[in-house]
């Protein structure tokens, strides 16, 4: 067997992809427009015969956290029956989706959608790992770049992941546009793959699962976080060297670990039954974890405006400065509201009972939820400081540009005045000459 093909006893199945989209005051109108488009704005068409839009409106007027099941979404022509399912197109490779709404604070809402993979998508990573892909030669400036079969397969799995995420981002932009989809920030979109594995142990046994650890990116970062509620469930972020500051993550668990769980309440011993169990807490956890990606999105927005601001002064682009100031003002409203509401919301988590821990040596286990909360709070403070500084800077730049334009206008007017004076003198002289009588002999 080629060295790049995993053992037959080791299998990986991609069951679901979770994605989280966020809605601040700047995206509230789009949120309610999306509810109307999907039929969630009326008790007659909303899931479970409730007025989902009205409940969301009420949640944005109070400080209590709220969770709302928005039901199942299926593509047109689906034969499988779901109660009160919403019908619309889904990203390629997915047969159904399950949406959950979370009110985090009055100014911040989140929708987490779990996309169910079809058979082809479920087996794609496994098929790539077992494919006969060989060494790849790429022409470069002074020769060739050589990629081993393992690197080629790792890249192919990365491309498949990128394709899934891109299709999901496009779906949100069409049906539930929010902060990430309107900014088209694929890199930061919070997504999480849920995988069921066979023959892969969570420990660092390089001889038995080294290939899969490399292909799936399980060796990047500081390692996995172990679930406090389900033995064997591991959360991993980042999953590649390129994703270190991005929003893509992975959850995986051995089927042998699943079989040791009492799961009769959720349907017994089957993949779908275990997914039913995991779906009770994972959406809330993904939404909570995704808050950090949302704050990084604002951080990038501020960086773009900051870097563009210096060039506007050099070019004297007043209209560009005004547009940037409008953009900063919109973000500033969001950041100011989040800065006042999020710290309390992060401390009082009522909508996720799921947490993961990492233990290092003799140190007490570190909670992922607590670490995410602390990191988000610190980033929020830095955002507020940077936002105020850049907003003041843009105002100063706008005033400077206006002053420069005023000086330029004065110079132009001076030149015009001088030209008009010369023209007046010329006309006066010409008039005087024309007024002198001509005497003929």
> Average pLDDT of 309-323?
52
Q: Quick one: pLDDT at residue 352?
A: 66
Query: CB–CB of 96/16 below 8 Å?
Result: no
Task: Quick: pLDDT tens for 124-164.
Answer: 999 999 988 777 666 677 766 667 788 888 889 999 999 99
**Which pLDDT band holds residue 89 (cuts at 50, 70, 90)?**
very high
Query: Concatenated DSSP letters for 272-307?
Result: HHHHHHHTTTHHHHHHHHHHHHHHHHHHHHHHHHHH
Domain assignment of residue 204, yes or no: no
CB burial string 123-143: b at 16+ within 10 A, e below: bbbbebbbeebeeeeeeeeee
Peptide bond into 42 cis (omega under 30): no
Q: Which residue has the higher pLDDT, 333 or 279?
A: 279
The string of pLDDT tens digits covering residues 110-127 is 999 999 999 999 999 999
The distance from CA 74 to its chain's CA centroid, rounded to whole angstroms, is 23
Residues near 334 by beta carbon (within 8 Å), at least 6 away in sequence: 24, 25, 26, 107, 298
Question: Is residue 342, in this structure, part of any structural domain at all?
Answer: yes
d(CA 238, CA 200): 19
Q: Which residues form the domain of 377?
A: 291-404
User: Is 50 exceeded by the pLDDT of residue 259?
Assistant: yes
| Residue 35 pLDDT exceeds 60 | yes
The per-residue pLDDT of the chain, averaged, comes to 81
pLDDT at 52: 73
pLDDT of 310 reads 52
| DSSP assignments along 191-224, one per residue | EEEEEEEES--SS--HHHHHHHHHHHTTTSTT--
Q: What is the pLDDT of residues 201-242, one digit of tens each?
A: 644 555 556 788 888 887 665 668 999 888 999 999 888 766
Share of the chain above pLDDT 90, in %: 32
Residue 149 lies in a domain: no
Question: Has residue 306 got a pLDDT over 70?
Answer: no
The average pLDDT across 239-263 equals: 84
Inform me whether the pLDDT recorded for 313 exceeds 50. Answer: no
Does 375 fall in a domain?
yes
Query: Lowest-pLDDT range, 56-65, 172-181, 205-214?
Result: 205-214
Q: Report pLDDT for 92.
A: 96
Dist CA 258 CA 104 (whole Å) = 31
Position 79 confidence tier, pLDDT thresholds 50, 70, 90: confident
User: What pTM does this model have?
Assistant: 0.82
Q: For 11-34, what is each residue's pLDDT tens digit? A: 999 999 999 999 998 888 899 899
Domain-located, residue 193: no
pLDDT 10s digits, 319-363: 555 555 566 666 777 888 888 888 888 887 666 678 899 887 778
Arithmetic mean of pLDDT, 37-47: 76
Residue 55 lies in a domain: no
Structurally, the chain folds into a number of domains equal to 1
Domain-located, residue 339: yes
Per-residue 3-state assignment (H helix, E strand, C coil) for 8-57: CCCEEEEEEEEEEEEECHHHHHHHHHHHHHCCCCCCCCCHHHCCHHHHHH
Residue 344 lies in a domain: yes
* pLDDT tens digits along 218-229: 766 566 899 988
């Amino acid at each position: 067997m080629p060295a790049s093909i995993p053992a037959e006893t080791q299998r990986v199945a991609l069951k679901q992809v979770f994605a989280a989209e966020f809605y601040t005051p700047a995206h509230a109108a789009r949120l309610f427009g999306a509810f109307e488009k999907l039929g969630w704005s009326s008790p007659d068409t909303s899931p479970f015969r409730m007025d989902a839009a009205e409940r969301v409106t009420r949640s944005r007027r109070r400080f209590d956290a709220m969770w709302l099941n928005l039901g199942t979404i299926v593509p047109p022509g689906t034969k499988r029956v779901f109660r009160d399912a919403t019908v619309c197109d889904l990203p390629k490779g997915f047969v159904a989706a399950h949406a959950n709404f979370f009110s985090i604070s009055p100014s911040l809402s989140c929708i987490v959608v779990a996309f169910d993979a079809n058979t082809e998508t479920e087996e794609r990573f496994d098929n790539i790992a077992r494919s006969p892909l060989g060494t790849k030669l790429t022409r470069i400036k002074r020769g060739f770049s050589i990629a081993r079969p393992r690197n080629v397969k790792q890249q192919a799995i990365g491309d498949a992941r990128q394709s899934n995420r891109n299709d999901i981002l496009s779906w949100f932009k069409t049906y539930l546009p929010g902060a990430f989809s309107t900014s088209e920030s694929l890199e930061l979109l919070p997504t999480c793959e849920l995988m069921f594995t066979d023959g892969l142990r969570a420990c660092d046994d390089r001889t038995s699962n080294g290939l899969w650890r490399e292909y799936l990116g399980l060796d990047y970062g500081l390692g996995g976080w172990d679930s406090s509620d389900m033995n064997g469930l591991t959360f991993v972020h980042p999953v590649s060297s390129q994703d270190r500051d991005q929003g893509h993550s992975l959850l995986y668990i051995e089927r042998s670990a699943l079989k040791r769980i009492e799961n009769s309440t959720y349907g017994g011993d089957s993949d779908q039954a275990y997914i039913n169990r995991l779906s009770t807490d994972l959406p809330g956890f993904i939404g909570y974890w995704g808050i950090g990606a949302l704050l990084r999105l604002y951080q990038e927005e501020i960086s773009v405006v900051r870097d563009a601001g210096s060039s506007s002064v050099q070019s004297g682009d007043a209209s560009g400065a005004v547009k940037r100031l409008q953009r900063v003002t919109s973000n500033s409203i969001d950041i100011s509201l989040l800065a006042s509401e999020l710290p309390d919301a992060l401390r009082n988590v009522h909508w996720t009972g799921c947490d993961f821990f990492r233990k290092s040596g003799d140190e007490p286990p570190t909670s992922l939820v607590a670490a995410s909360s602390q990191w988000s709070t610190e980033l929020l403070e830095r955002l507020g400081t940077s936002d105020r500084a850049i907003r003041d800077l843009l105002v100063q730049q706008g005033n400077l540009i206006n002053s420069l334009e005023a000086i330029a206008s004065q110079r132009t007017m001076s030149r015009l005045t001088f030209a008009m004076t010369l023209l007046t003198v010329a006309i006066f002289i010409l008039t005087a000459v024309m007024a002198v009588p001509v005497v003929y002999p």
